[in-house]
Structure 1
Amino acid sequence: MLWLVQLLAGALLMSLSANVFLVPLKLAEGGVTGIGIILFHTLGVPMWVTQVVANIPILALGVRVKGWRLLWRSLVGVAAYSFFLGVTAGIPPITDQVVLAIVYGGLTMGVGLGLVLRSGGTTGGTEVLALALQQRFGFSVGSMVLAVDAVVLTLAAIAFSPEAAMWAVITLFISSKVVDVVQVGFYSARGVTIITTRPDEIARRIMTEVERGVTIINGTGAYTGEPRAVLYTVAQRAELAQVKQIAHEEDPKAFVVVAEVHEVLGEGFRDPAKEGH
């Protein structure tokens, strides 16, 4: 049941971000939350009402296209977020400084949404709509979310002011970056690809001295037509210099490519079985 704890904690943080930081300063950052902020200030519609009303057709479309099995946690997420929006609506704002509200509102919203997504759910809105339209019409999820956010920010500029919309863009940027961090963490791992004529020696030393697994792939040089072994391993950033030194010592002509890795699942790194999925 760890997923449910994560989902509820994330929904609570998102509602606190909205009611304590974003709503008071009209920071309509995008999505259904942004629409809710606009409607709250222009028509007096409570945030939780907008969440429920807007997500009913979105979730209905999502379930019809993607199926109940894939979206039932999203239904729980929408219910939890709407509930906490209503419960926290009376909490007074912590600050009237727009910069503080942007930073802490974005951080809190990002952590909350990241926890919800890690639980396997969503809070409905543009993500579910984008997934449904992707399967139905072939639109990419990223472009759909970006388009909806652009529309919401344009409405915020009209309803409030262009300056308010510009502040909201910064909030959206912060929250999206924090979501990525919560999802994959502060990873310092690096993927290393080594093209060499001495694969066995390099692989043996990496496995014994660095204690990292190595995969050997048989390849062929496109220009020479000669066989080439391709080694692939993932190492922590602190181990990278040792891996490169081993490759150079065993084969000074080895071709080494180092790439940043955003997430690693498996032995020696992160175990998804312990995260409640």
Structure 2
Amino acid sequence: MARRFGDWHATATNHTPAEDAQGIFTGCVMAAIGVAILAHLGFLTGSTAGLALVISYATDFNVGLVYFMLNLPFYALAISQLGWAFTIKTFLAVGLLSVLTWLQPRLLQFGEIEPLTGAIVAGLLIGFGLLALFRHRASLGGAGILALYLQDRFGWRAGFTQLAVDLLVLALAFTVASPIAVLYSVIGAVVLNLALAINHRNDRYVAQ
């Protein structure tokens, strides 16, 4: 791990720490804006972020805090199967997204957003935010950790794995949201995971 974080020379298969920092920051900002759009519209997303929104809507707890707490159990899988470098970067990404989500109402507010447009734009923002993180061997925890492990181990597309998990999480959304809101949320989740499935493949991008 020391060699990994001490190497400041980029290669075809290795990012520098500065490149990792830029990629992780960019991915978290994009994801935070996407989550903020969904929350503004009363929609949800999948994975632990979506589950955090469900709990937040049901309990009025801060979504950033709930999101951070939900991710803690997944770090055991990350440490044992994906290594300390991945786990540390993922922990930092989860923490950063939690902070950005908490700060968002103070820094960025939205007016009227057409629902279908909002669902699609939010899905794209979160999807490409995750893509940036995946390409720097980080994730936003939860299903992202599981999806990357299954892609590395069995070659399963991370986007399709996440879509399956997301649809399960969105099924819970019927307890806190209207059917039309869930429908828009499903559209956003499909857009998000198609962006990942099409653009994140081990045979196309090998840098870590």
User: Which of the five TM-score ranges fits, normalised by the shorter chain?
Assistant: 0.7 to 0.9
Match of 2:102 among 76, 83, 86: 86
1:72 aligns with 2:102: no
Quick one: which amino acid aligns to residue 56 of structure 1? L
User: Could you list the per-position Cα deviations for residues 96-116 of structure 1 after superposition, in whole angstroms to 9, with x for gaps in the alignment?
Assistant: 321121121112112211111
- TM normalised by structure 2 equals 0.76
Q: Hey, what's the Cα distance between the residues in 1 that align with 2:163 and 2:148?
A: 13
Superposed CA RMSD: 3.0
Cα drift, residue 27 of structure 1? 1.6
Distance change >3 Å, CA 94–CA 13, structure 1 → 2? farther
Equivalent of residue 60 in structure 1, options 41, 52, 76: 76
Name the structure where strand makes up a greater proportion of residues: 1
Please, what TM-score do these two structures have when normalized by structure 1? 0.59
Name 2:49's counterpart in structure 1. 33
Amino acid of the structure 2 residue aligned with 1:153: L
**Structure 1 pair 89–180 and aligned structure 2 pair: CA distance change class (3 A):** farther
What CA distance in whole angstroms lies between the structure 1 residues aligned with 2:150 and 2:121?
A: 32
Matched position secondary structure for 1:120: coil
Distance 1:126 1:163, change over 3 A: same
Q: Could you tell me which residue of structure 1 aligns to residue 132 of structure 2?
A: 115
Q: Answer whether contact 2:23 2:133 (CA < 8 A) is retained.
A: yes
Secondary structure, counterpart of 1:23 in structure 2: helix
- Equivalent position of 1:150 in the other structure: 167
Contact 1:95 1:101 in 2 (8 A): no
- In structure 2, C-alpha distance between the alignment counterparts of 1:52 and 1:41, rounded to whole Å: 16
Report the AA paired with residue 113 of structure 2.
D
Aligned residues: 188
For the residues of structure 2 that align with 1:49 and 1:10, how far apart are their CA atoms?
19
The verdict on how the C-alpha distance between 1:166 and 1:49 changes in structure 2, with shifts beyond 3 A counting, is: same
Q: Which has the higher helix share?
A: 2
Q: What is the aligned counterpart of 2:121 among 100, 104, 128?
A: 104
Taking the aligned partners of 2:197 and 2:148, their CA distance within structure 1 comes to 19
Does the 8 Å CA contact 2:54/2:173 hold for their aligned counterparts? yes
2:19 corresponds to 1:2? yes
CA distance in 2, matches of 1:48, 1:150: 21
Whole-angstrom CA distance in 1 between matches of 2:54 and 2:22: 30
Question: Which letter maps to 2:136?
Answer: S
Partner SS state of residue 113, structure 2? coil
**Whole-Å separation in 1 of the counterparts to 2:157 and 2:120:** 26
- Per-residue displacement from partner, 1:114-147 (whole Å, max 9, x unpaired)? 1111222111111214566899xx9x78676444
Unaligned runs of 5+ in 2: 1-17
Higher RCO, 1 or 2 (CA under 8 Å, sep at least 6)? 2
Q: 1:99 to 1:182 in 2, by over 3 A?
A: same
What displacement does 1:95 show?
2.8
1:45 corresponds to 2:57: no
- Judged with a 3 Å threshold, the aligned counterparts in structure 2 of structure 1 residues 29 and 51 are, in CA distance, closer, same or farther, namely same
Distance 2:187 2:75 in 1: 28
